Chain A
């Protein structure tokens, strides 16, 4: 006697269709209808005007720069003319393939290092170290030239996007090393070490980056021996190093605090010394937790590299300003800033997309 069972499982009601959800959200209630109508009214004013400026009245191939500037629409011809200047600045145009190749290698190395599936593999850190050393060497030769029949390009000529990427990566990677020691110092049981770390971190976090940049640009030459001349790019690098180390140290401190006490006790039980336990037990775990917030620091650091414009260096924003100062194209500003903003947007979006993916991965991995 088989128990008669309904073969139809009890299903939850079918989800409403997408369009129905949309309509309900837009006009479902009095408030929503009012909001929708208000927004549509504003958009009806702005969007046609924007479309007219950016597309209908825009000029791609004007008879002369003059007619383009005086036109009513966007002067995209300016971007066509100046894109290479904005991207590479004073780097010799015939050699632009070199920074392109260098950046491609750089990005490739970043992509390989960012792949979290490989992080647990044996010898992976060592492999990355070798990879980065190789990429650095090849890139240095590519950018500077003077070997293998490549024309020599002095450091002052490096500008635009390659300079932005360079300042960001070098500043951040050097700051990372200092920040680990600062974070450990802040949690040290030695009062002198602890107070020095706290003082450094809090002072740096209390002042704007621009004051540190001025210090590197103006004060550093005064407090160093007179015969020691350091390039401006290196001095800016020092400023980023000092500045971001404080912010990263606070992030890493958060990671260190999240490590359960048992881990410290286990290291003690194994009779590990302080440095052994930090290097083998505590710091690796703390760093793993902090990667997503680290990426957020990377994003803000990448944006903040634009501040070197104020000490008259030619990073991506600096070359944009230089392009707008061309007397032939005088008066084209908005188009130039829109173009450069898009470049920054692409880079920052990539980083935040990665950070979100990684966060999900870490959360699911811990379960």
Chain B
């Protein structure tokens, strides 16, 4: 005597399959309709201002200047070259700021955990203030301070021998124009490639390579030794291109404009505070028992930090650090407010010259998307290396 319950089928409009299909057709259809509506309006609006949608304006002649730049762009060059200036400038300031902010963040993050109340307290004040004031306000502040409060080149502040700070920016010495320096750079790059190849091979076929512990001095020898060898073979030339005050300003060396200095300072101080909190969290996140175990094994404080705490802290630190790098990259777009020719600034100039707003903002977004993707891919790569090493 078995009772088979007759489950009545729900009416057809409540059946899951139909609902799934319905949702998945209605939403894309609505989206397409909206896009069609926007495109039609854009067509009508652009026609009224006699603009043609397309990328051909990028090949046109740019009639504006962007100041001195690494690309060598000047008025009269095609517009796409100006865009290249913007991308290079964005990357330039972001990469330098990422390096400086990381160093500052590690220093302050460790200082916040210091047993010295003065160091811990001051770090805390810095972190709280830097994190809770808008970055844009900080940038404007530094820019105003540099251009208004600093002395003119004639009364320049000499921070270190050869480093001059004025209201026209920062001037610093560069290595002189010796060909040996170029070869040293090449030697270092080759050493980097060699080391990376070695590590890669060691990971693929561990038996064929020396053990990790003996690879470390080998790595160091390659990275330091190769450039040093080139330096010695080249006859050890020492020359420095030091900025010199002549006429109305400094000549020689590297001259960084006030916009760049303010942007670099603002980005470094702002992101450094966030990185400090990440570092602090990472170190605190290492289990207390790990440190006690290291002490029980008789490791010194330095050994404990190097071999026990840091490898584990890195696993906590690296992922959020990566998102800080991406947001620093995006925050560099605030350069537009103080007139540093980054990609946003160049785009706004191009828009006001040519009127191609949709295309330029599209280009801008694609550039940032690509740069963000590349940054997080690099950090992910590093993260994998960190987590694997710690295992």
* Complex contacts, A352 vs chain B, CB 8 Å: 132
Is the CB–CB distance between B357 and A219 below 8 Å?
yes
Is the CB–CB distance between A211 and B333 below 8 Å?
yes
Bitwise interface map of B from 347 to 371 toward A, beta carbon under 8 Å scored 1, else 0:
0100100000110010011001100
Is B41 among interface residues, defined by CB-CB distance under 8 A?
Answer: yes
Is the CB–CB distance between A190 and B23 below 8 Å?
yes
Is the CB–CB distance between B133 and A190 below 8 Å?
no
Is A345 among interface residues, defined by CB-CB distance under 8 A?
Answer: yes
Is the CB–CB distance between B31 and A196 below 8 Å?
yes
Is the CB–CB distance between A317 and B369 below 8 Å?
no
Closest to A273 in B: B14
* Complex contacts, A203 vs chain B, CB 8 Å: 365, 369
Is the CB–CB distance between B344 and A337 below 8 Å?
no
Bitwise interface map of B from 7 to 32 toward A, beta carbon under 8 Å scored 1, else 0:
00000000000001001100110010
Is the CB–CB distance between A206 and B134 below 8 Å?
no
Is B303 among interface residues, defined by CB-CB distance under 8 A?
Answer: no
Is the CB–CB distance between A317 and B136 below 8 Å?
yes
Residue of A26, A206, A310, A320 near B116 (CB, 8 A) is: A26
Residue of B41, B132, B136, B326 near A222 (CB, 8 A) is: B41
* Complex contacts, A223 vs chain B, CB 8 Å: 38-39, 41-42, 45, 358
Is the CB–CB distance between A26 and B118 below 8 Å?
yes
**Max chain A Cβ within 10 angstroms of own Cβ: one of B28, B136, B336, B337:** B136
Residue of B118, B132, B144 near A35 (CB, 8 A) is: B118
B contact residues, total (Cβ < 8 Å): 56
Is the CB–CB distance between A337 and B137 below 8 Å?
yes
Q: How far does the alpha carbon of A196 sit from the alpha carbon of B35 in the complex, in Å?
A: 14
Is A170 among interface residues, defined by CB-CB distance under 8 A?
Answer: no
Q: How far does the alpha carbon of A193 sit from the alpha carbon of B23 in the complex, in Å?
A: 8
Closest to B136 in A: A306
Is the CB–CB distance between B334 and A307 below 8 Å?
yes
Is the CB–CB distance between B44 and A306 below 8 Å?
no
Q: How far does the alpha carbon of A218 sit from the alpha carbon of B351 in the complex, in Å?
A: 10
Is A132 among interface residues, defined by CB-CB distance under 8 A?
Answer: no
* Complex contacts, A208 vs chain B, CB 8 Å: 330-331, 333, 344, 368
Is B148 among interface residues, defined by CB-CB distance under 8 A?
Answer: yes
Is the CB–CB distance between A226 and B333 below 8 Å?
no
Q: How far does the alpha carbon of A205 sit from the alpha carbon of B322 in the complex, in Å?
A: 14
Is A3 among interface residues, defined by CB-CB distance under 8 A?
Answer: no
* Complex contacts, B135 vs chain A, CB 8 Å: 303
Report the minimum CB–CB distance from B28 to chain A (whole Å): 6
Q: How far does the alpha carbon of A225 sit from the alpha carbon of B200 in the complex, in Å?
A: 57
Is the CB–CB distance between A334 and B145 below 8 Å?
yes
Report the minimum CB–CB distance from A352 to chain B (whole Å): 7
Is the interface on chain A under 10, 10 to 19, 20 to 34, or 35 or more residues?
A: 35 or more
Closest to A228 in B: B41
Is A333 among interface residues, defined by CB-CB distance under 8 A?
Answer: yes
Q: How far does the alpha carbon of A218 sit from the alpha carbon of B347 in the complex, in Å?
A: 12
Bitwise interface map of A from 34 to 65 toward B, beta carbon under 8 Å scored 1, else 0:
01100110000000000000000000000000
Q: How far does the alpha carbon of A299 sit from the alpha carbon of B144 in the complex, in Å?
A: 25
Is the CB–CB distance between A348 and B132 below 8 Å?
yes
Bitwise interface map of A from 317 to 360 toward B, beta carbon under 8 Å scored 1, else 0:
10011001000000101100110110011001100100000000
Is B390 among interface residues, defined by CB-CB distance under 8 A?
Answer: no
Bitwise interface map of B from 136 to 155 toward A, beta carbon under 8 Å scored 1, else 0:
11101100110011000000
* Complex contacts, A340 vs chain B, CB 8 Å: 137
Is B372 among interface residues, defined by CB-CB distance under 8 A?
Answer: yes
List the interface of chain A (C-beta within 8 A of B): 22, 25-26, 28, 32, 35-36, 39-40, 190-193, 196, 203, 205-211, 214-215, 218-219, 221-226, 299, 303-304, 306-307, 309-310, 317, 320-321, 324, 331, 333-334, 337-338, 340-341, 344-345, 348-349, 352
* A-B complex: 9 closest residue pairs judged by Cβ atoms: A333-B144, A348-B132, A208-B330, A223-B38, A303-B134, A208-B333, A192-B24, A306-B134, A337-B141
List the interface of chain B (C-beta within 8 A of A): 20, 23-24, 27-28, 31, 38-39, 41-42, 44-46, 48, 114-119, 122, 128-129, 131-138, 140-141, 144-145, 148-149, 326, 330-331, 333-334, 336-337, 344, 348, 351, 357-358, 361, 364-365, 368-369, 372-373
Selected A-B contacts with CB under 8 Å, 12 pairs: A36-B118, A192-B27, A222-B358, A223-B38, A223-B42, A304-B134, A306-B136, A310-B337, A317-B137, A333-B140, A345-B133, A349-B132
Instruction: Known A-B contacts: A32-B114, A306-B134, A345-B133. Give 19 more (CB < 8 A).
Output: A26-B117, A36-B116, A192-B27, A193-B24, A203-B369, A207-B369, A211-B344, A211-B365, A214-B364, A223-B42, A303-B132, A320-B137, A333-B145, A334-B141, A337-B137, A341-B141, A344-B133, A348-B131, A352-B132
